[in-house]
Chain A
Amino acid sequence: MASTYEAAVADGPVIEAKGLGVKFAVNRRRKRSLREMFIHGNKRDPNAEGNDFWPLRDVSFEIAKGDCVGIVGKNGTGKSTLLKMIAGVLIPDEGKVSVHGKVAPLLELRAGFNDNLTGRENVYLVGSLHGMTEKQIDERFEEIVDFAEVKPKFIDTPVRHYSSGMKVRLGFALISQLEHPIMLVDEVLAVGDKAFKRKCYEAIDRMLANERTMVLVSHNEKDLRRFCNRGLYIRNGALALDTDIDSALAAYNEDTKVEIEERKKKDAAKKKRAEAAAKKVEAEAGPTETGATAVDEPKPEADKTDPGAGGDGKDGGRAA
């Protein structure tokens, strides 16, 4: 898998990130930032030290054409922020990201749908916002509606009467018709029911087979293994690993395991203390507490391995 990656880089990267960093002001300073920006400008901020939070800093990577890159990491480590910067909807405070080619952002499927307009009007509106021409939408309209499984009689009803599933399906159906060479996907694969999900996977497979580049943020290992041939592991706002998806996931799982161990130890210590305290005060509080924790424990092991999915993923990766 590493060899395909290196070969692709020779063609020149499609997405190039250099020293990316983004900072957020922490609580109170938000308000002050307005004044500072007028007085000092947004590049240099004399008293910025200490109060800033950098969800992401010093991240550099290149993504070649045809790559499917999975981004893994804990919640709140800046995965979505990174995706937003690639999409160009967030401007980095440091560094630069250059993207060659049009981007189809699947960041939020319902975005842009206006509740008061009908499904048809919304498809035309959002399609055009994404850069489709009216003719293109005309040609694909049937297909979009068909894919979304929206019954023809509902397509001219205002979207506010749709179920949330219908909206999301219509959104996915529309965006999957975009021919942009780069796709950014943020946790949206978990759309709809089982049957629709399968259709989504097939649509994405089809798109990937077309030499398209995809960046995928997900917590679903099955999805990641299925589509991606490369993994970026983000830890504490920095790029910890840039390898194939299996190693990235392995590293992520390793870290998660360590963390769970630590938490267990902490919990155990806490419990011991609580028990000791409880024993001191009253003896009957103890047994109910231990009963509850026993149920929680086996959970982290359950989603760690899934042999069927792993095999699937490797095939999918090679095909792409």
Chain B
Amino acid sequence: MASRTLAVWEHRKVVGLLVRRDLKVKYQQSVLGYAWTMLEPLALTLVYFFVFGLVLQAERGMPEDAPGGYILFLVAGILPWTTFGAILSEAPRAMITHSKLITTMKVPREIFPMATVGTKFVEYVLTWPVLLIFVFALGGRFTWEGMLFWLPLAIVLTFMFGLGVTLFLASVNVLLRDVERLTRILTRLLFYGSAILFPASMVLQADRVPGWAKTLYELNPLMGIFQMHRTVWFSGFEELTPSTLALTSAVVGSILMLIIGYWTFRRLEMSVLKEL
């Protein structure tokens, strides 16, 4: 285990190379390049604002005096979700696409899922300018609590969870290709299960939702994680801050996901190498 970690560390440059290659290929092939990274979430935000904000009035779950309002709430949730969704959609293929490299080069196999997540991390960082534009335009508030506590926690947990999921899906999908399809459905489910479009409090305070469903909802680690992404801008508003249960399940869930993912990856490594 320790030697393996060391081997991965020694190959950190290779991870960097793969990340750089992926980004290069991605941005080289399209005319608009980087603009897509911004346009896609922007278009989504617009649609969701219209449907959920204006038509379905999801903004009634927002506190009246929240700086930035519902639009900032949406943007702050959709941008990290776009990244996370991209991780989920690429995770199952993280090993398969590199099968040629994996079967001819002796490197610790973990670096391929790591490179996939690493690429997404860079893309996430690239969405920050968009977010900042919204924050400034809508009068969002910078707070010490948000910047120094919620933001780092949210980012670490997102990518920890993401890496765990990628390790898990990448290895299992080599043996069972159904996983890819299943992941697509799950991604949709998780999108609504993680309260991206409306404050989680709307679900938790709804009378028509049974108690067990609320508990399940709060136990979804992603719900807590994406709440954190928004608490960065809305710290101090209790409706928008993760509850203790949500916070715990986010932290424990992410750590657990990483452990499960890595364990599965190592366990299946032998058969994965044979199947690739």
Contact = CB atoms under 8 A, between A and B. Distances in A.
A129 B106 contact: no
Interface size class of B (residues with CB under 8 A): 20 to 34
What is the interface of chain B mostly: helix, strand, loop, or mixed? Answer: helix
Interface in B111-151: none
B102 A89 contact: yes
Interface string A27-46: 00011011001100110000
A38 B267 contact: yes
Contacts of A114: 21, 25
Interface stretch (B62-70, B153-161, B248-256, B268-276): B268-276
24 contacts: A24-B274, A41-B267, A42-B267, A84-B103, A87-B106, A88-B106, A89-B105, A89-B106, A91-B269, A93-B270, A105-B106, A108-B104, A111-B104, A111-B105, A112-B100, A112-B104, A116-B25, A117-B24, A117-B25, A125-B17, A125-B21, A128-B13, A129-B101, A129-B107
Give the top 7 A-B pairs by smallest Cβ distance, nearest first. Answer: A88-B106, A111-B104, A111-B100, A107-B104, A116-B25, A91-B270, A34-B175
Nearest to B172: A34
Nearest to A158: B28
A129 B105 contact: yes
A112 B24 contact: no
Interface of B: 13-14, 17, 21, 24-25, 28-29, 100-107, 172, 175-176, 267-271, 273-275
A103 B172 contact: no
A295 to B, nearest CB: 39
Given A89-B105, A128-B14, A116 B28 contact: yes
A33 B270 CA distance: 11
Interface string A106-140: 01101110101100010001001110000000000
Nearest to A38: B267
A256 to B, nearest CB: 28
B104 A117 contact: no
A30 B174 CA distance: 11
A52 to B, nearest CB: 12
A258 interface: no
A116 B29 contact: yes
A30 B175 CA distance: 8
Given A90-B273, A114-B21, A129-B17, A105 B172 contact: no
A40 to B, nearest CB: 11
A88 B273 CA distance: 10
Interface string A64-97: 0000000000000000000010011111010000
Which of A89, A107, A116, A125 is packed against the most chain B CB atoms within 10 Å?
A89
Contacts of A88: 106
A41 B267 CA distance: 8
Contacts of A84: 103
Contacts of B106: 87-89, 103, 105
A37 B271 contact: yes
A103 B268 CA distance: 24
A130 B103 CA distance: 13
Contacts of B104: 87, 89, 105, 107-108, 111-112
B17 to A, nearest CB: 5
B210 to A, nearest CB: 32
Contact of A121 (B13, B24, B29, B270): B24
B106 to A, nearest CB: 4
A42 B175 CA distance: 15
A49 to B, nearest CB: 18
A181 to B, nearest CB: 14
A33 B175 contact: yes
B14 A31 contact: no
A90 B172 CA distance: 17
A47 B139 CA distance: 66
Which of A22, A41, A114 is packed against the most chain B CB atoms within 10 Å?
A114
A39 to B, nearest CB: 11
Contacts of B275: 30
Given A33-B175, A89-B104, A105-B104, 12 more contacts: A33-B271, A34-B172, A37-B267, A37-B268, A42-B270, A42-B271, A89-B102, A90-B273, A90-B274, A91-B269, A105-B105, A105-B106
Contacts of B28: 116
A42 B275 CA distance: 15
Given A105-B106, A128-B14, A91 B273 contact: yes
A172 to B, nearest CB: 14
